[in-house]
Chain A
């Protein structure tokens, strides 16, 4: 049975005459936990942006659930969630309001209104914030008043609350201390494991620099100068492979 969730076919992306991605082919199967390795500027963020539909490739095709991205409706598209490297939180909103933004897709306009006016109790947001180590005192604080680590956790909570099938995370462990890295890593990847029992298992593609975290992933993809250099099981990864991309 074909269990491919996301597929990139011959994807290229050009920005101001610079070729950022060059004929990338990639298949992500359901339930896979994949680590994406590469130097800064190698094209990891662009690849993530193409996978979640934020930018359109100059050439090639992106398929989600075996359908071209353009053919998908809003509900299907919302099955991908992203933790951005630069977090992309709304600075003027509170931590709780930002986390609630993750629920906008499954709720109506009235929910957005309630969220902005703070006229409801948002238990689900509180649950996910607590899971990410954010406590009551942070809920009402504006993003700009939070520390780097707190912001990072708000972004992670916003992403997790979506309970999506596919998680794309671009260096999610930045700004976190070692203890929190372990917590967040388990949270991101456990979430995937738990849902393996469901019909559409959760899948994760995580861009990272820390090689000591690789053991938690099934596969490792190495990218350099917009090209995929290797795509193999974590057990098969050798120093030689890493030398190619770093």
Chain B
């Protein structure tokens, strides 16, 4: 009997099997009461509310979103670079500091990174109350850690021989460090910085859904009042903001040989550090912790959460992650492969853009109009949103790929779909899977968002525990979240390494 051999191509399609349990539960949970609402939601997309009043609201709300997004980006990218430097090998080599400290800082940043900004936001709001600056802080905390990882990874690519040669000159340590890290830092900022600004704006929108402010809050309020026309006005204005920002980013070119521009960037760098530090001090000494007076609350508060229930929640969170990852991996190649013509490609791109544009909680709320809350629904939501992102990457890679194999196969009379699969996709499958492994790290963290809205997993428990000020439970949930994310990151790291 022939052994089953799994290629990277088949591995990209195999996760579609998650649709069997998912579909079974979703069909069982379907209810027809909300179909009319769903229909209304779809129709409103073509008929958004446009009048003077709403335009003013949109401008104000977008302003807030941009402000929160921009400041959190600026602080997180600069502090991320600094933490990236002190969590990279090169720093310890130059200063002859034992690697022990390097491991501690990396571990600390991994823990911070493992908790989603929404979770940070909800916890901070509960402690501190709703505040504009909470949005910035909530985004900054995990983003600093995420950015530091990217910067550190780039610094690890520095050729050890260049390092040795600079080190051999016996220059002052800081001069050597600056000279050797300068370009990797600048290049990372050029390639990655502006993408993080877009991420920061998206996170601001999601935090807005939980009450931080900005356009996210308006989206949530219009959904609560079932005012779908207004909802679409906000969504389309957000789409315009994202498209415009991308167009502007494409035009911006960082030229480090321009002296005035360089001095400006350095001034921004130092002002941001100064501002962040002063704000941190102000926050510590002038805050009014409404609901969390001391750490002793952590030990005094009791927990009603049984071990069995807790393990069940952890299992649910893991299952949501696995199912969502399955959808995010398999949907894009399957859909592009089946509907492989130019007209369909345009529709797929638009659909994928909408999936990326509409915040996950809103997608979930829309799906809840005709389906009961369940683990499958949460997984489907998260999977679809992330499929929108993996789809964009796959399209971009396929379009930039050499098409000679594809053309050659078609000329042999092989069908268009098979030629696409073997001549185009098969060459991308490996790198696509490597990106999906990275994406699944993010999916694990995002289970918190769908959990809160969709009544499943640890996210829901977090919301419940916070509402009742059960700090011990909150701590337990956060530890569990962090552990799942760290284990997931370790596993995905191994997968990524084997694929690259």
Which residues in A have some Cβ–Cβ distance to B below 8 Å?
Answer: 52-54, 74-75, 77-78, 80-82, 84, 86, 88-93, 101-102, 104-105, 107-109, 111-113, 115-119, 140, 162
Q: B257's closest neighbor in chain A, by CB?
A: A118
A117 near B178: Cβ-Cβ < 8 Å? no
Of the candidates A53, A86, A112, the one having the most CB atoms from chain B within 10 angstroms of its own CB is A112
Give chain A residues whose Cβ lies under 8 Å from the Cβ of B296. none
**Are B259 and A104 in contact (CB-based, < 8 A)?**
no
23 chain-A/chain-B pairs, Cβ below 8 angstroms: A77-B170, A78-B170, A86-B161, A89-B162, A89-B165, A90-B179, A91-B159, A92-B182, A92-B184, A92-B187, A101-B169, A104-B172, A104-B175, A104-B176, A105-B170, A105-B172, A112-B178, A112-B179, A116-B178, A116-B179, A117-B262, A117-B263, A119-B259
Closest to B174 in A: A109
Q: Across the interface, do A102 and B169 meet the contact criterion of CB distance under 8 Å?
A: yes
- Whether the pair B179, A115 counts as a contact (CB closer than 8 A) is yes
Residues of A within 8 A of B175 (CB): 104, 107-109, 111-112
A54-B167 contact in complex given A112-B179, A115-B179, C-beta closer than 8 Å: yes
Residue among A54, A74, A105, A117 with max Cβ neighbours from chain B (10 Å):
A117
| Residues of the A chain whose Cβ atoms lie less than 8 Å from the Cβ of B180 | 90
Does B63 make an interface contact (CB < 8 A)?
no
Q: Are B165 and A84 in contact (CB under 8 A)?
A: yes
Instruction: Pick the residue among B161, B176, B183, B262 that contacts A93 (CB under 8 A).
Output: B183
Q: Which of chain B's residues 158-200 have a Cβ closer than 8 Å to chain A?
A: 159, 161-162, 164-172, 174-176, 178-180, 182-184, 187
Q: Name the residue of chain A whose CB is nearest to the CB of B172.
A: A109
User: Nearest chain-B residue to A143 (Cβ)?
Assistant: B162
> Which residues of chain B in 236-273 are interfacial with respect to chain A, using CB atoms and an 8 Å cutoff?
256-257, 259, 262-263, 266
Residues in A with CB closer than 8 Å to B168 are 52-54, 80, 82
Q: Report B278 CB to chain A, min CB distance, Å.
A: 24
Complex Cα spacing A82 to B178, Å: 21
A88 touches B161 (CB 8 A): yes
Chain A residues within 8 Å of B170, by CB: 74-75, 77-78, 105
Residues in B with CB closer than 8 Å to A77 are 170
Set of chain A residues within 8 Å of B257, measured between Cβ atoms: 118, 140
Bound complex: CA A115 to CA B159 (Å): 20
Contact with A along B69-80 (1 / 0, CB 8 A): 000000000000
CB of A97, distance to nearest CB on chain B (Å): 8
Which residues of chain B from 137 to 177 have a CB within 8 Å of any chain A CB? 159, 161-162, 164-172, 174-176
User: Known: A84-B161, A93-B183, A119-B262. Contact between A113 and B178, CB under 8 A?
Assistant: yes
Which chain A residue lies CB-closest to B261? Answer: A117
Given contacts A54-B164, A112-B175, 19 further A-B contacts (CB under 8 A): A53-B168, A74-B170, A74-B172, A82-B168, A86-B161, A88-B164, A90-B183, A101-B166, A102-B169, A104-B166, A104-B176, A104-B179, A105-B170, A105-B172, A107-B175, A113-B178, A117-B256, A117-B266, A118-B259
| Residue of B165, B166, B184 with most chain A CB atoms under a 10 A cut-off | B165
List the 8 closest A-B pairs by CB distance, nearest first. Answer: A104-B171, A88-B165, A92-B183, A112-B175, A78-B170, A77-B170, A105-B171, A117-B262
Chain B residues closer than 8 Å to A113, beta-carbon distance? 178
A90 touches B162 (CB 8 A): yes
For B343-354 the 0/1 string (1 means CB < 8 A from A) is 000000000000
Which B residues fall within an 8 A CB radius of A? Answer: 159, 161-162, 164-172, 174-176, 178-180, 182-184, 187, 256-257, 259, 262-263, 266
Distance of A111 Cα from B169 Cα, bound (Å): 15
Question: Are A108 and B183 in contact, with the CB atoms below 8 A?
Answer: no
CA separation between A117 and B256, bound complex, in Å?
7
**Identity of the chain A residue whose Cβ is nearest the Cβ of B177 in the assembled complex:** A112
A93 / chain B contacts, CB cutoff of 8 Å = 179, 182-183
Query: In the docked arrangement, what's the CA distance between A117 and B179, Å?
Result: 11
Decide if A82 touches B165 in the complex (CB within 8 Å).
yes
Choice from B164, B167, B178 contacting A109 with Cβ under 8 Å: B178
Shortest CB-to-CB span from A165 to chain B, Å, is 13
CA–CA, A163 and B175, complex, Å: 19
Cα A118 to Cα B180 in complex, Å, equals 16
Q: Which of A81, A102, A105, A108 has the most CB of B within 10 A?
A: A105
Bound Cα distance A111, B259 (Å): 15
B433–chain A nearest beta-carbon distance, Å: 30
User: Do A162 and B169 touch across chains, with their CB atoms under 8 A apart?
Assistant: yes
Q: Hey, which chain B residues are within 8 Å of A107, CB to CB?
A: 175
Chain B nearest Cβ from A111, distance in angstroms: 7
Q: Report the Cα distance A84→B159, complex, angstroms.
A: 14
B262 to chain A minimum Cβ distance, whole angstroms, is: 5
Assembly CA distance A91 to B162 (angstroms): 9
| Contact call A104/B169, Cβ cutoff below 8 A | yes
Q: How far is the CA of A101 from the CA of B481 in the complex (A)?
A: 47
For B167, the closest partner residue in chain A by CB is A54
Interface centre among B164, B179, B259, B262 (most CB of A within 10 A): B179
In contact, B179 and A101 (Cβ under 8 angstroms): yes
- Cβ–Cβ contact A88 & B259, under 8 A: no
Contacts of A82 in B (CB 8 A): 165, 168
Q: CB-nearest residue of chain B relative to A94?
A: B257
Complex interface: chain A residues within 8 A of B162 (CB): 88-91
B169 cross-chain contacts in A, Cβ below 8 A:
78, 81, 101-102, 104-105, 162
Given the complex of chains A and B, what is the CA–CA distance between A140 and B182 in angstroms?
A: 16
B165 proximity list for chain A (CB < 8 A)? 82, 84, 88-89
Q: Find the residue from B168, B170, B175, B259 having the highest chain A CB count within 10 A.
A: B170
Report B-chain residues with C-beta under 8 Å of the C-beta of A91. Answer: 159, 162
CA of A107 to CA of B169, assembled, Å? 12
